[in-house]
């Protein structure tokens, strides 16, 4: 039995206003070919299928077209869970129709843990794997709010809630395992979308913090020992948890920002012979080159000319750090790349920013700021004392988190 583990597609994500649909389409076409070439039996998608809770029609088209294509090939089952970027009710809405394509979707946290345990069967109707399809667990799914609760208490209760949830789901899976085939040849495969302790991130990858405070990063002890393979999503860097090879993040399949541009992207093929997994990484091709260039004007010009001679089609982020103030930097850079297939997606003119630190310049946009930057600018503008900022920032982060988690598709 062969399983392919992937996550964090973020369909519909743009890069400084540039739509990336062709890039996503190329990845999904490639993934369908990989599934066929390697005769994958089960596809696991561990959350953040879409970049927002209200995905565009084009993003939805890519998703459903891919599922239809995969269901017509060798892949017997697809299991999809929601991530923190996804709308649980949006993913759940077509789940009954998708079952006809052998696609199992768990968007919302069910009332009963049993509904997260899925028994998959082979072409002879024999049970071949038990999937614990645990979606992103929101704060309210696993913790009861208490008055005067400290941040440390919140974090402890969040971790405890996560641990109890996985314990309940895996206990159900283990009971089914005993009934269906026994421990020797029926693996238990868990899924999740969370932030593991020690997890690696990259600046600008767009990975949101899941919880306020210390963010309740979970350690490997949260996951029961009955799990034979854990397919995780949320972190964009491929990695293991606590050096345990069978507890894995697949990472995002395409770079979500320039910080990931040099990162080797992958999907994971997990092959079971009995209950022992063999894990193979498959490198995802680069469908759209991204390049960040930083330095003096001469250095930037030299690199741009080199890329132009190489007929590069890269999307560029350029950071000018030279000592001379250049007010017409955009015009000069556009002249250099004229006639090429390259695009400048963002320019950081550090000298101008340093000169007028609190204003948005001609070559800057709101893409340079996130919601935390805007809040900090407001604190500065209203001259809020430093002693008051910690509590206000914590309250603000709680509000932002609740807005992100609000399921706008639910009634």
Q: Using CA atoms, how far apart are residues 409 and 166, in angstroms rounded to an integer?
A: 27
Residues β-bridged to residue 239: 249
- Kind plus residue range of the DSSP H or E element containing 290: strand 290-295
pLDDT > 50? residue 358: no
- E strands along 93-236, which residues? 103-106, 117-121, 127-133, 188-193, 229-233
Q: With beta carbons less than 8 A apart as the criterion, state whether 88 and 135 touch.
A: yes
Higher pLDDT: 59 or 350? It is: 59
What percent of the chain has pLDDT above 70? 86
Mean pLDDT along residues 115-141: 92
Q: Which residue has the higher pLDDT, 354 or 310?
A: 310
pLDDT at residue number 366: 55
Q: Which of 34-43, 135-144, 271-280, 370-379 has the highest mean pLDDT?
A: 34-43
Does 228 have pLDDT greater than 80?
yes
- How far is residue 48's CA from residue 130's CA, in Å, rounded to a whole number? 22
Instruction: Give the number of other Cβ atoms within 10 Å of residue 322's Cβ.
Output: 16
Instruction: State the pLDDT at residue 405.
Output: 64
Higher-confidence position of 388 and 9: 9
- Check whether 409 has a pLDDT greater than 80: no
Q: What is the pLDDT of residues 178-210, one digit of tens each?
A: 988 666 679 999 999 998 877 777 765 556 555
- Name the CATH code of domain 290-405 (choices 3.10.450.50, 3.20.20.80, 3.30.390.50, 3.30.160.720): 3.30.160.720
Q: Report residue 214's pLDDT band, with 50, 70 and 90 as the boundaries.
A: very low
- Assess whether the region 2-283 and the region 290-405 belong to the same CATH fold: no
Give one word for 295, left, alpha or beta, with left for phi > 0 and alpha for psi -120 to 50. left
Query: pTM to 2 decimals?
Result: 0.84
Domain ranges of the chain: 2-283, 290-405
Tell me the C-alpha to C-alpha distance, in Å, between residue 261 and each of 17, 51, 206: 17, 18, 13
pLDDT at 390 (0 to 100): 78
Q: For residue 206, which of 259, 261, 248, 249 has the smallest C-alpha distance?
A: 259
- Percentages helix, strand, coil for the chain, rounded to the nearest 5? 35, 25, 40
Predicted confidence at residue 187, as pLDDT, reads 94
CA distances for 396 relative to 194, 382, 385, 403, angstroms: 22, 16, 16, 11
Q: Are the C-beta atoms of residues 246 and 228 closer than 8 Å to each other?
A: yes
Half-sphere exposure at residue 254, Cβ-oriented, CA atoms within 13 angstroms: 26
| CA 63, chain centre distance (Å) | 15
The string of DSSP letters for 33-102 reads HHHHHTT-SEEEEES--BSSSS--HHHHHHHHHHHHHHHTTT--EEEEE--TTS-HHHHHTTHHHHHTTT
Tell me the three state secondary structure of residue 380. Answer: helix
The per-residue pLDDT for range 13-64, each reduced to its tens digit, is 999 989 999 999 999 999 999 999 999 999 999 999 999 999 999 999 999 9
Instruction: Average the pLDDT over each of 49-63, 81-95, 363-377 and give the range with the smallest value.
Output: 363-377
Kindly tell me if the per-residue pLDDT of 216 is higher than 60: no
pLDDT of residue 368: 59
Domain 2-283 fold = Purple Acid Phosphatase; chain A, domain 2 (3.60.21)
Give the pLDDT score at 373.
76
Element (H, E) at 395: helix 386-405
- Tell which residue, 1, 73, 3, has the closest CA to residue 282: 3
Lowest mean pLDDT among 136-140, 287-291, 293-297: 136-140
CA distance 205 to 358: 25
For residues 391 and 352, which has the higher predicted lDDT (pLDDT)?
Answer: 391
Longest CA pairwise span in the chain (Å): 74
Give exposure, 168-190, as e/b (b: 16+ Cβ within 10 Å): bbbebbbebbeeebeeebbbbbb
Place 369 in a pLDDT band, splitting at 50, 70 and 90: low
Give the per-residue pLDDT at 140: 79
């Amino acid at each position: 039995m062969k399983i392919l583990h992937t996550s964090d597609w973020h369909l519909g994500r743009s890069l400084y206003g540039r739509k990336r649909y062709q890039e996503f389409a190329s990845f999904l076409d490639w993934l369908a070919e990989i599934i066929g070439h390697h005769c994958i039996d089960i596809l696991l998608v561990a959350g953040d299928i879409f970049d927002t809770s209200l995905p565009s029609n084009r993003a939805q088209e890519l998703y459903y077209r891919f599922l239809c294509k995969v269901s017509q090939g060798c892949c017997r089952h697809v299991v999809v869970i929601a991530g923190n970027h996804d709308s649980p009710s949006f993913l759940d809405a077509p789940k009954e129709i998708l079952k006809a394509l052998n696609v199992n979707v768990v968007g919302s946290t069910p009332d009963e843990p049993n509904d997260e345990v899925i028994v998959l069967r082979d072409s002879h109707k024999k049970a071949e794997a038990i999937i614990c399809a645990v979606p992103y667990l929101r704060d309210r799914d696993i913790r009861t709010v208490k008055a005067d609760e400290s941040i440390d208490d919140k974090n402890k209760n969040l971790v405890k809630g996560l641990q109890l949830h996985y314990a309940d789901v895996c206990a159900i899976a283990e009971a089914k395992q005993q009934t269906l085939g026994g421990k020797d040849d029926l693996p238990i495969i868990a899924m999740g979308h969370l932030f593991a302790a020690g997890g690696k991130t990259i600046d600008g990858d767009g990975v949101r913090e899941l919880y306020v405070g210390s963010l309740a990063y979970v350690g490997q002890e949260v996951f029961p020992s009955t799990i034979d393979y854990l397919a995780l999503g949320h972190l964009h860097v491929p990695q293991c948890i606590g050096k345990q090879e069978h507890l894995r993040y697949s990472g995002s399949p395409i770079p979500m920002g320039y910080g990931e541009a040099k990162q080797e992207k992958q999907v994971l093929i997990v092959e079971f012979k009995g209950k022992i997994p063999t894990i193979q990484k498959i490198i995802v091709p680069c469908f759209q080159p991204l390049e960040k260039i930083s330095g003096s004007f001469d250095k930037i010009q030299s690199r741009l000319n080199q890329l132009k001679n190489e007929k590069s089609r890269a999307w560029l982020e350029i950071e000018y750090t030279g000592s001379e103030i250049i007010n017409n930097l955009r015009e000069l850079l556009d002249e250099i790349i004229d006639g090429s297939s390259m695009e400048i997606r963002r320019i950081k003119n550090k000298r101008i920013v340093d000169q007028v630190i609190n204003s948005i310049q001609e070559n800057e946009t709101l893409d340079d700021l996130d919601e935390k930057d805007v809040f900090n600018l407001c604190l500065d503008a209203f001259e809020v004392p430093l002693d008051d900022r910690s509590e206000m920032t914590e309250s603000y982060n709680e509000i932002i988190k609740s807005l992100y988690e609000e399921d706008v598709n639910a009634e």
